[in-house]
Amino acid sequence: MEKNIAVLSGDGIGPEVIEQALKVLTAIETKFNHTFHTQFALVGAIAIDKTGNPLPEETLDICLQSDAVLFGAIGDPKYDNDPSAPVRPEQGLLKLRKSLGLFANVRPVTTYPTLLSLSPLKEEKIKGVDFVIYRELTGGIYFGEKGRKDDTAYDHCVYSREEIARITILAFDAARLRRKKVTLVDKANVLETSRLWRDEVKRISAQYPDVELDFLFVDNAAMQIIQFPSQFDVMLTENMFGDILSDEASVITGSMGLLPSASVGAKTSLYEPIHGSYPQATGLDIANPMATILSAAMMLDSFNLHTEAEVIRESVKNLLESGYGTAELQLPHTCKCSEIGDLIAAKILAL
């Protein structure tokens, strides 16, 4: 198989973790006889410094012509610490999401037996946790009409059936390949938009008789994620609720360096670790690239290369079980960022 991949390393530790993911993809090419054509492009602070634009048109063109985008991180203290800066790295990411039509954010939450002690939750609560959050990304209160009038401010929350349906279908399709359960998180006792979500999700669920559907109000869901996280398989929710709940769920694993994500679009899709640019670690070779490597695995899933994606995930798991990881994982063998990619690539080739 041949695929074109846009590589947007970005800022901070972005280039370091992306480099490790590319090592792993090279191992997949060798083992499975695929060809991945990569094309690098600028985004974020580095793009501002070189072009004055956080998302140059050349970068956007490369992304639109690619089968997927592998993304590092954006952000730099000189912009982060200056709220008045007229041009900011985050503007590039927001424009990229809009231009690519990225409507669904997908975040897996998986715990590893060797790392359970790192979580702030009790080990018996999180053992075996493996669920994924599907968050609608382009509608809701973040994108509704907003403004101020005298001493009043407003933010409108608006959803259409079409916006709800397209992410709901993704969530149910994913559940069919997992444990066949979807949990819709909403606030249907109060919000009219949530009642529309329930109506549409129920309608679509009739097409998936093999998938169980249940419902949780968002306040209850926030508690359940902490109390009984192992009950969840696929969690489906709107934009703001998903933003909050996915960040809450990210602490379960004990390290953000292990959490990948995907943003699925109408034109192409983007794959990135959930951590930021971590400027304090830039150039120190201490960043954990596993989230980026696992994001590359999600990208392979989107190409229907499920065996190849699973080989990556198994190799990451085997490395952790062997006691190797970056410093924050507190394992017996501490590795540099640059070593992790080599070790995982070697495991892939040895399988």
- Catalytic site residues? 142, 187, 219, 243, 247
The secondary structure of the chain, three-state, reads: CEEEEEEEEECCCHHHHHHHHHHHHHHHHHHHCCEEEEEECCCCHHHHHHHCCCCCHHHHHHHHCCCEEEEEECCCHHHHCCCCCCCCHHHHHHHHHHHHCEEEEEEEEECCHHHHHHCCCCHHHHCCCEEEEEEECCCHHHCCCEEEECCEEEECCCCCHHHHHHHHHHHHHHHHCCCCEEEEEECCCCCHHHHHHHHHHHHHHCCCCCCEEEEEEHHHHHHHHHHCHHHCCEEEECHHHHHHHHHHHCCCCCCHHHCEEEEEECCCCEEEECCCCCHHHCCCCCCCCHHHHHHHHHHHHHCCCHHHHHHHHHHHHHHHHCCEECHHHCCCEECCHHHHHHHHHHHHHHC
Strand 68-73 to strand 102-110: parallel, antiparallel, or no bridges (unpaired)? unpaired
Counting beta carbons within 10 angstroms of the beta carbon of residue 225, is it exposed (0 to 12), middle (13 to 18) or buried (19 or more)?
buried
